[in-house]
Structure 1
Amino acid sequence: MLNIVLFGPPGAGKGTQSEKLIAKYKIDHISTGDLFRKHLGEGTELGKLAQKYMDEGNLVPDEVVIGMVDDKINDTKDPQGFIFDGFPRTVAQAEALDRLLENKGMDISGMIALEVPEEELKKRIKERGKTSGRVDDQVDDKINNRIKVYRDETLPVANYYEKQGKLSQIHGVGGIDEIFSKICKVIDNY
């Protein structure tokens, strides 16, 4: 089973590449953003719990996020694998994901980290903001903060998978198909 963590800072191209990987490898997409919207929209117990934390201005605890990921995996019929997009965001989440998968007889095949220079990220995010309508994609301070949070809080996850020998870094600048081809070469060697 192919289980990939697609990793990189905001604006690195994870969403674009995820779509292509899902189509080629017939794997299911797990995006924590999508899971939050689903559980909040359906008013599930996990959604209500997450809403409680968010209403208080707090981060949703890892156990709740992992619960949503577990739900998604259990609801997927005959999976060929999963692509984890935007998750795990912390080492604690990565450890919890490994335990969850291990209990299901699975593991992470590898982490593919898209490496993109900061100036290019800012340019891409602003360009995306023109069409996405996302306010946080259009304000310099918010863009800079999102990149800083990634560097400070999320980047250590790459070290976690590197210690397991599962990290592959891909230069994420160039044509979409060129980058996709580099990613596929890595995946085909799993």
Structure 2
Amino acid sequence: MRLLIVGPQGAGKGTQAELLTKAVGIPHVSTGDLFRANISGNTPLGQKVKAIMDAGQLVPDEVTQDMLVDRLAQPDAEVGFLLDGFPRNISQASWLEGVLAERGTPIKCVLLVDAPDEVLRERMTARGRSDDTPESIDRRLAIYHAETSPLIEFYGEKVARIDGVGEIHEVQERIRKAIDALD
């Protein structure tokens, strides 16, 4: 089962991805985790990412894509995976579709976990992180709506819309029902 989870920050994607991957036995492939693992492992890609981030720049798509290709080639991802944090825009999604098509392993379902912006703002503010200022939250939501939301149209019928409002177990139940409906 090859899945993609998308949605704005604060929607609970990471929490839901962890629960789901444990339940269905596929790896949770988070680009943020890939960056951290490569940096802490001092891999050649990790050294490149660290230098870029230390310079205050965004990691180029090619570097992220190299890490992703390497991760998806690992044995535990043969049975499937849940991608989290990639793709974030149409260009990345087109690249990913091409890579997966070459392997004959297309994305089966895109889980769109969403909530109203007011709820997302409340959740992110409640986390108490230093980078969760009202201005930065609004900026991240604006970027999501401008760059990531178009993925919904890109993936079309593969998208399962999940209401991200409610208790963690309620949202997980909605996700599981959406996946069960695929079979």
> Fold conserved (TM > 0.5)?
yes
Tell me the CA shift for residue 78 of structure 1: 6.2
In the alignment, structure 1 residue 187 sits paired with structure 2 residue 150: no
Structure 2: runs of 5+ lacking an equivalent: none
Alignment partners' CA distance in 2, 1:89 and 1:103? 21
Give the SS at the match of 2:76. coil
Which residue number corresponds to residue 25 of structure 1?
Answer: 24
RMSD: 1.6
Q: Equivalent residues in 2 for 1:10-159 (5 A)? A: 10-77=9-76, 79-129=78-128, 134-137=129-132, 139-159=133-153
1:41–1:180 distance in 2 versus 1, CA, 3 Å? same
Tell me the CA shift for residue 52 of structure 1: 3.7
- Give the number of equivalent residue pairs: 182
Tell me the CA shift for residue 142 of structure 1: 1.2
Amino acid at match of 1:169: R
Q: Aligned match of 1:177 in 140, 162, 169? A: 169
Aligned partners of 2:26 and 2:76 also within 8 Å: no
Aligned-pair identity in percent equals: 41
TM-score normalised by structure 2 residue count: 0.92
Structure 1: runs of 5+ lacking an equivalent: none
TM-score normalised by structure 1 residue count: 0.89
Aligned partners of 1:115 and 1:171 also within 8 Å: yes
Larger mean CA deviation between 12-21 and 95-104 belongs to: 95-104
